[in-house]
A and B are shown apart, each in its own frame.
Chain A
């Protein structure tokens, strides 16, 4: 694999007074709001996290919790303004390798996009262009960032297709997307996003559209490639199994905010937020004995236009009345450290949560 030097680029100056972070990727208080006729949709409302190279962050949450909006925000794909004047309102800071992306020159971000950071989309059929061959699309992605002739770029495309496990890559490179099966299309997407050796890879529901046996192949591939390239990976999914399989850290989103974040083991074995308990209880598990009943979360996810006051989860939380003074309905809980590198946003005291988890929830899972 040829390692070409990244084209030099000016480092964006930080706007706010806060110093540049040391982490590879740091998101600080990210907000993405969309003005609509019905009101302001607060898709992401104050999200912060960090990610180091070679590590994987899993973002889990239900539909409409802001997972995908976050990833598009990091990639800088919201400001494109395809909805006329109705652009997304983005605030906060996104630091990638010492560069602040939100305040950086769009041309500079364009150079980073696809090269420093790349994305794998959920539906490979709609993310690939039907009129161009797989090869042409990979070559295009490569030549935008590398000054090479078409022949070299095509060699590189074949090499990448081979790397992601497509049989007969030299022939397949001239196929159109419709000639590929679902799993192969997703492999081609992965080849395309990795062709420039990005340091940050965002995979937005990479296996949701695939069958389990193919999903296993793709998850394996992502893991192997990460080991090989040492990239930082953000994997966005609603499937806790996929997250457990790949992630070092887990971030649980609800109503546009992070409700719990921590190392995978902590979040699975000592979760400290009722919503995380709900997710774990909702899931039938193959690795355990048959549960009598699932423990669902009552109600349905909130509207992002009218996020409940106080804790966004309070209408669905069975423990909303435990903290005093109706605080769950009036004050929004902030993330507090509940263990080493483990944060949760809940008004209940540590002791209460620990007791509920060990006595009431864990035995039923």
Chain B
């Protein structure tokens, strides 16, 4: 394994002339995709008249941007709306509200023919390599389909271009006439990638591109995506639930919870010092492949129960029902998304590793008590310490005392209080 494995070696492809881009490529770092207040509510209809009785608020107000040449990773548990988000930005779903701008152009309500030229620039890689390839078509037909649909004839003909793409993704070009069932899962995912690359897109949205694959194959595909980005200057939005994979591939990471982004930050800041309690809990829950840390319970935050239903999300901060730091304000007021550190935006009243946004607030006993039992003392102490340290730093400028005390007291209060309030645990 000292040399670069053969199957990830990728020939440097000549930029396809046939798939000439419509507009000038944005320079790396410029905003390629901008999403403002994006919402998607799926109506729930009932009864004879099919009246709408409610809505699944799958995506409920997202603001973010994707810069050219970067990889934005999106993580979250199942049901947090990350896949819906992927389908909204590729306009496979119609947003309920909000806008999607691609290269400065509002594409939120473009119709099918209006979207067609843009389909070249925005492509998608799907999760399941078994259901996303038509079993009745040969690989050649599948990868050649984008050319046919767009009415583009690549230089040297479709077949030659498809074979070039096959070699780009590490497959044998002679397999042009084979059918999907003749390939393994990892090879099929490569076919899906080749199809997405056919028209030389600017933005590739990959929805769980490796979660259906075995560990050793997963690494091959992750490396392939990496290489392709470097050689073709692609911009990725990678949606995944595996935090270690997301860290490996992303430049910036958005953490989603119940249809909202709770934290959006550079990879290193996010993993070194997560600010939202949910991010912290999520990362502490990942099992570490190191037997020496077995049973390292002192570092793990066990969240209580399950994610609440997106049909009736909790009031205020959506995470307050499971958060060990929750206070009254979390129940009533939705925390705004603030840039608390350069390049790190977070929506929380009581962020970790930062100055408390609502320090004087009373602890919400019900949730905090339950969670307090599950959060190891070490974590609480450490969280109090970091908050205090940050508070101390800022104390010189602002009025001191209150912030520190409450920050240090919160965990203690959370632990010793009996269940005096009505339990807000998950139903």
Residues of A with Cβ closer than 8 Å to B?
Answer: 62-63, 167, 181-184, 211-217, 219-220, 223, 238-247, 264-265, 268-269, 277-287, 290-291, 293-301, 318, 360-361, 364
Q: Would you call B248 an interface residue if the criterion is a C-beta within 8 Å of the partner chain's C-beta atoms?
A: yes
A214, A223, A268, A360: the one within 8 Å of B306 (CB) = A214
Contact between A287 and B293, CB atoms less than 8 A apart: yes
- Which of B2, B214, B291 gathers the greatest number of chain A CB atoms within 10 Å? B291
Could you tell me the distance in whole angstroms from the C-beta of A262 to the nearest C-beta in chain B? 11
Partner of A360, one of B1, B281, B282: B1
B-side contacts of A243, CB under 8 Å: 289
Q: Are A220 and B186 in contact (CB under 8 A)?
A: no
Please name all residues of chain B whose beta carbon is closer than 8 Å to the beta carbon of A245 when the two chains form the complex. 287-288, 294-295
What residues on A are CB-neighbors of B282 within 8 Å? 212-213
Known: A184-B306, A223-B295, A284-B245. A296 touches B288 (CB 8 A): no
Contact indicator A294/B219 (Cβ below 8 Å) = yes
**Chain A facing B: main interface SS:** helix
The answer on a CB contact under 8 Å between B219 and A244 is no
Residues B306 and A284 in contact, CB atoms below 8 Å apart: no
9 cross-chain pairs, A with B, having the tightest CB-CB distances, nearest first: A241-B287, A296-B219, A282-B219, A284-B248, A297-B216, A216-B285, A294-B219, A264-B291, A211-B77
Distance between B411 CB and nearest chain A CB, rounded to angstroms: 20
In Å, the complex CA distance between A360 and B190 comes to 28
Give Cα distance in the complex from A90 to B368, angstroms.
54
Q: Is the pair A183, B1 in contact by a Cβ cutoff of 8 Å?
A: no
Within 8 A of A (CB), among B229-255: 241, 243-245, 247-248
A318, B303: Cα distance in complex, Å: 43
**B302 and A220 contacting across the interface, CB-CB below 8 Å:** yes
Measured in the bound complex, the distance between the Cα atoms of B241 and A317 in whole Å is 30
Nearest Cβ distance between residue A167 and chain B, in whole angstroms?
Answer: 7
Contact A264-B425, Cβ < 8 Å, known A213-B285, A283-B244, A300-B186 = no
Determine the residue in chain A with the shortest Cβ distance to B427. A167
Chain A neighbourhood of B186, CB < 8 A = 300
Bound: A282/B184 CA distance, A: 18
- Assess whether B215 is in contact with A62, with CB atoms less than 8 Å apart: yes
Q: Are B214 and A284 in contact (CB under 8 A)?
A: no
Q: What are the residues of chain A within 8 A of B5 when measuring CB–CB?
A: 295-296, 298, 318
- Tier of interface size on chain B: 35 or more
CB proximity of A252 to chain B, nearest CB, Å: 12
A-binding segment of B15-23, B220-228, B389-397: B220-228
Given A286-B244, A296-B220, A219:B303 Cβ within 8 A? no
Q: In the complex, which residues of chain B have a beta carbon less than 8 angstroms from the beta carbon of A223?
A: 295
Report the Cα distance A279→B294, complex, angstroms. 19
**Nearest CB to that of B425 among chain A residues?**
A167
For residues 199 through 230 of chain B, which have their beta carbon under 8 Å from a beta carbon of chain A? 214-220, 222-223, 226
Chain A residues within an 8 Å CB radius of B217 = 62, 296, 300
When A181-B306, A212-B77, A282-B215 are in contact, do A244 and B286 touch as well, CB less than 8 Å?
no
Q: Find out whether the CB atom of B214 lies under 8 angstroms from the CB atom of A283.
A: no
B226 — which chain A residues lie within 8 A by C-beta? Answer: 293
Contacts A278-B216, A290-B247 known; A299 to B294 CB distance under 8 Å?
no
Give bound CA distance, A104 to B243, whole Å. Answer: 46
Proximity bits, B1-32, A CB within 8 Å = 1, else 0: 11101111000000000000000000000000
In the assembled complex, which residues on chain B have CB atoms less than 8 Å from the CB atom of A181?
A: 306
Q: Please state if B290 and A286 are interface contacts (CB–CB under 8 Å).
A: no
Residues of chain A with a CB closer than 8 A to B300's CB: 216, 220
With contacts A282-B215, A286-B286, A300-B217 known, what are 12 further pairs, Cβ within 8 A?
A: A62-B215, A62-B217, A212-B282, A220-B302, A244-B293, A245-B288, A265-B291, A284-B245, A284-B247, A284-B248, A294-B222, A296-B222
In the complex, the answer to whether B292 meets A265 with C-beta atoms within 8 Å is yes
Q: Is B412 an interface residue when CB atoms closer than 8 A count as contact?
A: no
Q: Assess the A291–B219 pair: CB atoms within 8 A.
A: no
Residue of A nearest to B281 (CB): A213
Q: Can you offer 15 A-B residue contacts whose CB atoms are under 8 A? A: A62-B215, A63-B214, A182-B78, A211-B307, A220-B297, A223-B295, A240-B289, A243-B289, A280-B289, A282-B216, A286-B271, A286-B283, A296-B220, A297-B216, A360-B1
Option from A213, A287, A293, A298 in Cβ contact (under 8 Å) with B6: A298
> What residues on A are CB-neighbors of B96 within 8 Å?
none
Interchain CA distance A318-B7 in the complex, whole Å: 13
Per the bound structure, the CA–CA distance linking A182 and B241 in Å amounts to 16
Q: Are B302 and A216 in contact (CB under 8 A)?
A: yes
Asked if B385 is at the interface of the complex by the 8 Å CB criterion, the answer is no
Determine the chain A residues whose CB is within 8 A of the CB of B216 once the complex forms. Answer: 62, 278-279, 282, 296-297, 301
Contacts of B288 in A (CB 8 A): 241, 244-245, 285-287
**CB of B187 within 8 A of chain A?**
yes
- Asked if A215 contacts B7 (CB within 8 A), the reply is no
Instruction: Collect the chain A residues with CB atoms within 8 Å of residue B281's CB.
Output: 213
Q: Are B243 and A212 in contact (CB under 8 A)?
A: yes
**A15 to B425, alpha carbons, bound, how many Å?**
56
